[in-house]
Chain A
Amino acid sequence: MSLVDLDLTPFRLSLQVGLLATALCLLVGVPLAWWTARAHPLVSGVISSLVLLPLLLPPTVVGYYLLYLLGRQSGAGRFLMDGLGLRLVFTWQGAAVAAAVVALPLFVRTAQAGFEQIDEDVLRVARTLAPPWRVFLRVVLPLAWPALVAATLIAFARAAGEFGATVMVAGNIPGRTQTAPTAIYDAVQAGNSAQANRLAAVFLAYGLALLVALAYVARPRRR
């Protein structure tokens, strides 16, 4: 028994799900975090609470609602399928959407903290000197960079390891939607503890590597 026997497909799928979900988090999460960090406290409070909801619900519940939302039963699902030709239910892309929803709260919260610590006066001065897009690219992003990298790593870790929500939306089809976490579940169910051990060991190594990366991003720096 060795790692050579390992079927790497579940890991490849986990990686795909993780990357696509992280990309979605960045796309939605950066503007959302920026906006909530600067909006009126009431507005930002309501929005950040709503974004937090998936964190509080069991992932299977999130997955259950997404399954309904993305499937034929809902108007949104029909629009995605018939209008855009996007079939998300029982595909790895669907799993990525589910993983993104679960990871979004962690991403937004972390990124928001990064945006909030930028000095208000620095932004005021910047606005008197440059157009908003330039302020964002040249001042906001560089100053929030460590927080954004941390948010991205955390979101990726959460998304690549998601089980409940992805399995509800995408199922557990070996070679197509079976990600590493579901493969581990399968192996344990089938009594194949050797396989489960190997899969879990890879995850553990990956988790430790992420920890090191996070510690590096968050290292104290001279300011």
Chain B
Amino acid sequence: MLELDIERRFPGFHLRVRLAVHHELVVLFGHSGSGKSLTLRAIAGLLRPDRGRILIDGRPVFDAAAGVDLPPRLRRVGFVPQHYALFPHLTVRENIAFGLHGLPRHERERRVAELVALLGLVGLEGRRPPEISGGQAQRVALARALAPRPRLLLLDEPFSALDSAIRVTLRRELARLRRELDLTIVFVTHDLREAYNLADRIAVFDAGRVLQVDDREAVFHRPACRRVAELTEVRNIWRGVVTEATAEHVTVQTPRFALRAAAGPSQPGQRVDVCIRPERVILLRPERHPAEALRDTALAAEIVSEEAHGAAHTLFFRLPGADEVPYDVEVDLPSHPYEVLGVRTRRVWTLVFPRAAVHVMPAADGEGDASA
């Protein structure tokens, strides 16, 4: 569907991206300035890479070596930028029809009417962009991009300027459009929830490179390296050394405690990073479940501080013995179990780290990175 392998140098920034998108929705995820929008522009033909190739449907639209560089309008991509970028002097109807100038008049009108109906814009056709809401403007931008039947839809943070309620509605709408129109989509966002919510696969961008491309579960639960874990808000990440590797499990010794993970390719003596998502740590009452009896790592710890987020709480635990660290483990707990367990009054707990949720990564030493 889409294959790219491109490189572009800017002063102080080096974009190197290799990526394949099949018939799916791939989210380019990363902080602002990580190169995801530049990648999207390169696909659209709005940014010229220094070298490399871009194939859409197996056909090269850019090939530096062969001197191929198709202009944007011939690449058959639909492009929706962050702030809608509607043509302010044209009506909704004229905006949607902008890419249909090659069609006979009646076909053009029929296609516009189709899209107006599809995106729920009936009655707004004669309005101009300043006269419609942000959510409506974003629908018009989608309709305008879809009108010429693109092979590929490119969305650059399309919902980030909208209120969260409208954002949720539009995400659902995008999912519906995708099913109905059978679209291949590349979606740029720096919003982790949005990325997980929409993606079949996520490409994690950092400093101009793709650190990991994987299905969303893998990116969330099995990050390729420490940096991906940080970007996907794993939050509990420790340096350690593998002390034991059997057919059942791997044990990693961190400076403050030992953690048991599911069996993996690690070798004893290997320096690694080990992590667990804060919502995966389990709280047990210490007197009921003696730590020694459990197969997974269980550690006694005390809550040193907490944050409330409405629907959930973040608890910061410290293991006994060292008062100099602010905390050792971060745990996210939904409000209901928080209340049922009585966490407000009980401060000492047994933390259980299910071995399937403990993930071991090769240690990043600055060099030998995991570039795509």
Contact = CB atoms under 8 A, between A and B. Distances in A.
A125 B45 contact: no
Contacts of B83: 119, 121
Interface in B49-86: 71-73, 75, 77-83, 85-86
B75 A130 contact: no
B41 to A, nearest CB: 7
Given A126-B87, A138-B98, A222-B130, A121 B72 contact: no
Contacts of B216: none
Contacts of A126: 87, 98
Contacts of A12: none
Interface residues of A, number: 19
A219 interface: no
Interface in B219-233: none
Q: Report which residue of A121, A124, A129, A132 has the largest number of chain B beta carbons within 10 angstroms of its beta carbon.
A: A129
Contacts of B85: 119, 121-122, 124-125
B88 interface: yes
A145 to B, nearest CB: 8
A39 to B, nearest CB: 15
Nearest to A223: B130
Contact of A129 (B41, B88, B89, B148): B148
Nearest to B98: A129
Interface string B218-258: 00000000000000000000000000000000000000000
B134 interface: no
Interface string A186-223: 00000000000000000000000000000000000011
A134 interface: yes
Interface in A108-151: 119, 121-122, 124-132, 134, 138-139, 142-143
Nearest to A139: B87
A124 B41 contact: yes
A122 B87 contact: yes
Contacts of A131: 71, 73
A128 to B, nearest CB: 4
A125 B147 CA distance: 13
Contacts of B36: none
Contacts of A128: 44-46, 72-73, 75, 77-79, 99, 145
Given A129-B73, A134-B101, A223-B130, A121 B82 contact: yes
Q: Report which residue of B45, B72, B79, B83 has the largest number of chain A beta carbons within 10 angstroms of its beta carbon.
A: B72
Given A139-B87, A143-B89, A222-B130, A130 B41 contact: no
B119 to A, nearest CB: 16
Contacts of A124: 41, 44, 46, 72, 79, 81, 85
A122 B98 CA distance: 12
Given A127-B46, A223-B88, A121 B101 contact: no
Give the size category of B's interface with A: 20 to 34
Nearest to B41: A124
Nearest to A129: B99
B144 interface: yes
A142 B89 CA distance: 7
A154 B124 CA distance: 39
Q: Report which residue of B73, B80, B101 has the largest number of chain A beta carbons within 10 angstroms of its beta carbon.
A: B73
Interface in A26-58: none
A74 to B, nearest CB: 41
A121 B79 CA distance: 10
A124 to B, nearest CB: 5
Given A131-B73, A222-B130, A223-B88, A125 B144 contact: yes
A223 B73 CA distance: 28
A125 B98 CA distance: 10
A167 B217 CA distance: 79
Nearest to A134: B101
A129 to B, nearest CB: 3
B93 to A, nearest CB: 14
B79 A125 contact: yes
A125 B296 CA distance: 54
A124 B86 CA distance: 11
Nearest to B74: A131
Interface string B108-149: 000000000000000000000010000000000100110010
A129 B41 CA distance: 14
Contacts of A122: 85-88
Nearest to A131: B73
A129 B76 CA distance: 8
A139 B99 CA distance: 12
B98 A127 contact: no
Contacts of B87: 122, 126, 138-139, 143
A130 B81 contact: no
Contacts of A132: 71
A132 B45 CA distance: 13
7 contacts: A125-B144, A127-B45, A127-B72, A128-B44, A128-B73, A129-B73, A143-B87
Given A129-B98, A131-B73, 11 more contacts: A122-B85, A122-B86, A124-B79, A124-B85, A125-B144, A127-B46, A128-B46, A130-B73, A130-B98, A132-B71, A138-B87
Interface of B: 41, 44-46, 71-73, 75, 77-83, 85-89, 98-99, 101, 130, 141, 144-145, 148
